[in-house]
Copies of this chain bind each other. A is one copy, B any other.
Amino acid sequence: MHGIGKRRWVIAEGYLPPPDARLSRQLSSHETACMLNAGDAPAQVTITIFFADREPAGPYRVTIGPRRTLHLRFNDLADPEPVPTDTDYASLIESDVPIVVQHTRLDSRRAELALMTTTAYACD
* A contact residues vs B (CB 8 Å cutoff): 4-5, 8, 10-15, 26-27, 32, 34-36, 38, 50-53, 55-56, 67-71, 86, 88-90, 92, 100-105, 107, 109-123
List B contacts of A123 (CB < 8 A).
4-5
How many angstroms from the CA of A69 to the CA of B101 in the assembled complex?
19
Q: Is the CB of A8 within 8 A of B13?
A: no
Q: Is the CB of A52 within 8 A of B69?
A: yes
**Pick the contact of A119 from B27, B86, B109, B119 — CB < 8 Å?**
B119
| Chain B CB within 10 Å, residue with most, of A5, A104, A105, A119 | A119
Sample of 16 more A-B contacts, CB < 8 Å, known A13-B117, A114-B114, A119-B121: A10-B38, A10-B100, A12-B34, A12-B69, A13-B102, A34-B88, A51-B69, A52-B69, A100-B121, A107-B115, A110-B111, A110-B112, A110-B113, A112-B113, A116-B117, A119-B120
